[in-house]
């Protein structure tokens, strides 16, 4: 590990100010994505601004049909929350299968969203569930928040405060996980709200994406058989040691069918 500056501000305003004054800085949440990248020198920030002491970034609330999860809420807390399990059980189930116990107890929902790993689980949930990312200065629809791989719409000194999830009529997540990392080789979140279905895929491409053909089929007939013949083009999908692009394309349909079958 190389040398870098470290600060631990105690307010949101101080955290923003620290980042504005930092040279090539990064915010640090749970550290389960950033620190491994730094150890491998895939990321080499000169300054780290920890959010650990900033109040108001933890916790889970439910009000008016909307689930709000603070940015520093850990995956383990999302998985174990009775509030999440009651409002959106699919989200709690998704969180319970992220990484291993250490990652779940240190990694945070806001950190995962900000990092935007193409194989992370939360982006699929956020897009399918029509989530809104609330920062220290604005609100952004999840579909507009995620851009290219490891890229979001966040400004360098912008901080995620919480993520809001409208409660769907039904939703489920199905993942084919890498045996080594537990990241999604392919993960599919299916959600239905207002009679409209959303199908969001992670792990298969260079970022989260929707499958309009599946959404249209499910709008007419919300059964797994309705999408059995929908095929995703392998062009633009990822090929690596875990799976070829063609196999990932096949898995999208398989995981989507499983998610539909599991919807409650």
pLDDT per residue as tens digits for the range 125-170: 999 999 999 999 999 999 999 999 999 999 999 999 999 999 999 9
Do 150 and 226 belong together in one domain?
A: yes
- Both tokens of residue 93? 């189930």
Query: What is the spatial distance between Cα 87 and Cα 84, in angstroms, rounded to a whole number?
Result: 5
Instruction: Report yes or no on 200 lying in a domain.
Output: yes
Domain shared by 173 and 97, yes or no: yes
Read off the pLDDT of each residue in 197-210 and give the average, rounded to a whole number.
Answer: 98
The residue segments making up the domain with residue 28 are: 5-50
- Are residues 194 and 68 located together in one domain of the fold? yes
Model-wide pTM > 0.85 = yes
Whether residue 157 sits in one domain with residue 31: no
Task: Tell whether 210 is covered by a domain.
Answer: yes
Query: Is 55 inside any structural domain?
Result: no
Residues 66 and 27 in one domain: no
100 contact partners, CB below 8 Å, separation of at least 6: 182
């Amino acid at each position: 590990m190389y040398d870098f500056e470290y600060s631990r501000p105690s307010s949101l305003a101080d955290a923003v100010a620290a980042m504005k004054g930092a040279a090539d800085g990064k915010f640090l949440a749970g550290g389960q994505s950033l620190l491994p990248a730094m150890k491998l020198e895939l990321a080499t920030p000169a300054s780290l601004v920890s959010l650990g002491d900033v109040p108001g970034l933890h916790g889970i609330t439910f009000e008016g049909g909307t689930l709000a999860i603070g940015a520093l809420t850990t995956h383990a807390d999302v998985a174990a929350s009775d509030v999440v399990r009651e409002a959106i059980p699919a989200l709690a189930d998704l969180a319970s299968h992220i990484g291993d116990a250490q990652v779940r107890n240190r990694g945070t929902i806001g950190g995962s969203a900000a990092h935007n790993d193409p194989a992370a689980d939360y982006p699929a949930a956020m897009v399918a569930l029509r989530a809104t990312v609330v920062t220290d200065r604005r609100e952004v629809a999840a579909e507009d928040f995620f851009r290219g791989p490891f890229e979001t719409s966040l400004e360098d000194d912008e901080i995620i405060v919480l993520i809001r999830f409208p409660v769907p009529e039904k939703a489920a997540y199905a993942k084919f996980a890498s045996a080594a990392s537990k990241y999604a080789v392919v993960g599919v979140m299916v959600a239905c709200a207002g009679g409209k279905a959303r199908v969001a895929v992670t792990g298969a491409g260079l970022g989260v994406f929707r499958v309009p053909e599946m959404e249209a089929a499910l709008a007419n007939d919300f059964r797994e058989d309705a999408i059995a013949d929908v095929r995703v083009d392998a062009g633009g999908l990822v090929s690596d040691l875990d799976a070829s692009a063609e196999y990932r394309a096949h898995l999208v349909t398989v995981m989507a069918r499983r998610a539909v079958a599991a919807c409650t």
